[in-house]
Chains A and B, each alone.
Chain A
Amino acid sequence: MLDIKNLHVKLEEEDKQILKGVNLSVESGKVHAIMGPNGSGKSTLSYVLSGRDGYEVTEGEAHLNDTDLLDSEPEERAAAGLFLAFQYPVEIPGVGNMTFLRTALNAQRKARGEEEISAGDFLKLVRGKAKSLKIDADMLKRPVNVGFSGGEKKRNEILQMAILEPKMCILDETDSGLDVDAMRLVAEGVNALRDEGRSFLVITHYQRLLDHIKPDVVHIMADGRIIETGGPELALEVEKNGYADLLAKHGISEVMA
């Protein structure tokens, strides 16, 4: 599904190397988690994969199935099945949530040479998906993310994911700013989407999200690289002992991280 090889990335505007050789393969149907201390490059990885400006890939490659991600526009990556759930979903005043969702879905369909969805079918689709995420009609009518609480914003991200049906979902600290109930709701939404043909890359600081979204593989990222890979027990170990031992083992100073 997702293949990242030796990915090196620096900031475009300053000479600062953020990713220093990331290797990662996510198989179809699997949930991988990436944990790591602040500044380890987790969010940068998600942005680079989805095509945000401001980063320069100096070496390496990233493919989503047959699509060369690094050579595609963000919208092409989306149409190829990539989805990034934002850590800070963006507010777009004046554009209704429904309009936004339908524009996105139809744009992706068009890019894949599929027919646009009819207004009636779309309404049915959204209502069904929204209900399970406890998103009411009012939230659908309101402008995108405007006046939404932190939890509502994250649920709205999951709603988009449910409607766009991507193959590869990246969740960038989706648990940040959520209380326990909101996190459970979001996790349920994600779990409902788990499927043999869909993979997840869950980026998080904390183990607690992984109690709700059970990963198959856990990676620890530090200093722009993946330094450890293991099963769910790796996340528990980090939760218990922190990153210090792991960092020391790989000769990374904590101050840098």
Chain B
Amino acid sequence: MSAVEKMTNAETRLARVSLPDGFGPQRRAALDRLNAMGLPGRRDEYWRWTNPTDFIAPDPVPAAPFSDDEPEIFGEIDRLKIVFRDGVFDAEASDDLSMSGVEILRLADAPDVSWASSLYGTLEANGQDPVKRPFAALNTASATDGVLIRVTGVAEKPVSLIYTHESETSDPILHHLVKLEEGAEITVLENGPAGARFNKLMEVDVAKGAKFHHIRVQGRDHERRAVTSIFTRVAEEGLFKSFTLTSNGVLTRNECVIDIVGDDANAHVAGAALGDGKTGKFHHDDTVFITHGAERGESRQVFKKVLKNGAEGIFQGKILVKPGAQKTDGYQISQSLLLDENSQFLAKPELEIYADDVQCSHGSTTGAIDETALFYLRSRGVPEEEATALLVLSFVADAIEEIEEERFRDAILTRLEGWLARHRG
């Protein structure tokens, strides 16, 4: 594709942006941001390894919905279910949106509530410096639906966002807000492919002593494309924990921007991605930026990728420790397990530290299955394929351990085992 054509695509895309009702000033500000920064090109530092063309294109590449008979991953969990069908809230398929200690509103209803107005687009705007995130600005400007969740107590059950994909050309843009008041706690689950092309953003504001848990499964649609962003601000003694399992999908870019603003706060972000190029192209990109702006903050990034048949994995993770953020403990590990010689993993770990009493470590590895461990298992009678599957589970275990509750770990493990059973050999 020529540069001229790419420009045209980007211009067309920008010209088509329309601002839905509600959050007018925030949307207009986002559009101004977007127009100022433009859509990304391959020369942008953080898009060198992931081609943004399909995200920029005015229309999505059609994607056939994927049907399977696998039970829904969180089907056994007692939860409050919120369903989006090709990006549109489906009241009938969803549960009643009331739960004690939790207020849930719909973005498309354009509610005029002050907590939402002061949060919508705010964390996204803060997260645009120093790295530009055009698809996030695009999202804030033009998101058509989403949920606005305010948590004032300890939620009695998780909120489960389910995204179904039925139209071959759906192009949903969803924007969620989660505001946790002091001491509040909630778990948000997400699963499903959502559309042919999905742009999703979640802003999570964690107040003092509040706890946010996030477990996401990016669905089995082989043809879907997704660009997602999480922006979070974590106050004093707050906790933010996010885990994502990705299996399949042509193109996935997951960004996570974390701002630790209060002392003694914790932020963990983890992911396990399984890609098999045999069932279609697989390109998965995790891009993380964690800013420590307060004392004694602890952050962990744990990313594992299992790649085969030409699958591609990207990790770009940064820890920025601001002046004065003493006693920061930052940890980052990104690892890939390449099951053949055709797959590729690229990693860019970055540390930028302006405080003198901190502990930050990072590591990145790429490797094949450990032959000694494989022989050990086979010598006990476990056939090679089953032994390989066990070693894959062993490889991703650290990332799954980041999920606090056992019932969610079990659900993820079941899904992982299913993937391994389907992708043997």
Contacts and interface: CB of A to CB of B under 8 A. Distances in A.
Given A50-B379, A73-B384, A78-B381, A103 B390 contact: yes
Nearest to A86: B376
Given A53-B371, A86-B376, A92 B381 contact: no
A146 to B, nearest CB: 10
Contacts of A143: 394, 397
B402 interface: no
Nearest to A85: B379
Contacts of B400: 94
B397 A93 contact: yes
B382 A75 contact: yes
B384 A164 contact: no
A200 to B, nearest CB: 16
A79 interface: yes
Interface in A62-94: 73-75, 77-79, 83-84, 86, 89-90, 92-94
Contacts of A79: 381
Interface in A27-63: 50-53
Interface of B: 370-373, 375-384, 386-387, 390-391, 393-398, 400-401
Contacts of A100: 377, 380, 390
Contacts of B401: 94
Most buried by B among A77, A84, A94, A164: A94
Given A53-B371, A74-B375, A92-B390, A104 B380 contact: yes
26 contacts: A51-B375, A51-B379, A52-B375, A53-B371, A73-B384, A74-B379, A75-B379, A75-B381, A75-B383, A75-B387, A77-B379, A78-B378, A79-B381, A83-B379, A90-B370, A92-B376, A92-B391, A94-B395, A100-B377, A100-B380, A103-B390, A104-B382, A105-B381, A107-B382, A108-B381, A143-B394
A92 B379 contact: no
B261 to A, nearest CB: 34
A90 to B, nearest CB: 4
Given A86-B379, A107-B386, 6 more contacts: A51-B378, A75-B387, A90-B370, A93-B397, A94-B394, A94-B400
A180 interface: no
Main secondary structure of the interface of B (DSSP, over half): helix
A94 B393 contact: yes
Interface in A158-172: 160, 164
A111 interface: yes
A95 interface: yes
Closest 6 CB pairs of A and B: A94-B397, A78-B381, A108-B381, A74-B378, A104-B380, A94-B394
A103 B386 contact: yes
Contacts of A95: 390-391, 393-394, 397
A24 B289 CA distance: 63
Contact of B376 (A77, A90, A94, A99): A90
A77 B379 CA distance: 8
Contacts of B377: 92, 100, 104
Contacts of A160: 380
